[in-house]
Amino acid sequence: MTNVISFCVSGENKNYFYNGALTAIKSVKLTNPHMPIVIFYDFLNEFQKSMLSGCKLIRVQTLYKTSHRRRELTDAIWFKFHLDALEGVDKALFLDCDLVVLDSLDEIFKLEGKIVACGRHGRLNKEFVDAEKVKANENIKDSDLLFNTGVICFDRKFWVHEKIKDKVLEILNMYGDSNFKNPDQGVANILAYRYGGFTNLSHRYNYLLDMIDEKPLVVIKNPMGVKAPYHDDDFIRILHWNGAKKPWRFKTRIKYSRNKKSYYSCYKQFANHGSLKELRISVDEK
């Protein structure tokens, strides 16, 4: 069985690439050194590609051009559906570029399911403009779990057989891109429920920024020697800076609560590792 960890990377947003993607990838290399890393990319120059040494690079083009509501996102959000480009792979775990991996992710690959992701209770109108249309067509209820696509593991063979790219385009054409508040996330949730739902992963593998104020967590070193939030007798494995507030803007325009400030060190320990510190400073100064 071959499993891979994948990132979807674009060079269009330089801050996102240098301060987000490179840091996230570095965190995987340090905490999961045995795992192959595959980068789906577009719009990277030769220097940017040279920064991704040790990763397999696969160039893809967006499935769908969309005027999505979150301007910081690039068309790389669609790259994760190019599963047919991953020949010989059984499971592909896709990670967003605004997170850090703090521990082993081996447990994720042991879980069965066409899609494995972290589910949360949330009303459909947080994902869709016309939530009633989605309810009626897809038989998804407000009480059903919806997942964040920042951490999503696909059974690659199943989805290639089902022609996932065609299914994605079918959903987008059915509802129109203006109906999706988080385009790839809305599409992925519809796709999952059309095929019987998804395997719910512990929130420790996708701890979102908006969870932080719910219960203050202590940040200490885990058994790997990596700084990580700790609560209920366990460590957070992935800390995800979802939304508009990113850790590389920590000292500039973003105001964080006191709780959120304590989590900056979880990001900084990887961003300042090796040449990334100098690279980040040079980019910010331009």
pLDDT in tens, 67-109: 566 666 788 999 999 999 999 999 999 999 999 999 999 999 9
Return phi, psi of residue 40, to 5°: -85, 125
DSSP 131-192: HHHHHHHH---TTSEEEEEEEEEEEHHHHHHTTHHHHHHHHHHHH-GGGBSSHHHHHHHHHH
Q: Give yes or no for residue 251 having a pLDDT over 70.
A: no
Dist CA 18 CA 15 (whole Å) = 5
Any idea where the domains of the chain sit in the sequence? 3-203, 207-285
For domain 3-203, give the fold: Spore Coat Polysaccharide Biosynthesis Protein SpsA; Chain A (3.90.550)
pLDDT digits (tens, 9 = 90+) for 20-71: 999 999 999 999 999 999 999 999 999 999 999 999 999 998 877 765 666 6
Average pLDDT score over residue span 181-192: 94
Question: 203 vs 260, which has greater pLDDT?
Answer: 203
Which of the four pLDDT bands, split at 50, 70 and 90, describes residue 221? very high
Q: What is the pLDDT of residues 113-154, one digit of tens each?
A: 999 999 998 788 889 999 999 999 998 988 899 999 999 999
Strand ranges of the sheet holding 227-231, from the earlier edge strand across to the other edge: 218-221, 227-231, 234-235
The pLDDT value recorded for residue 277 is 41
Mean pLDDT of the chain: 88
What is the percent of the chain with per-residue pLDDT over 90, rounded to a whole number? Answer: 67
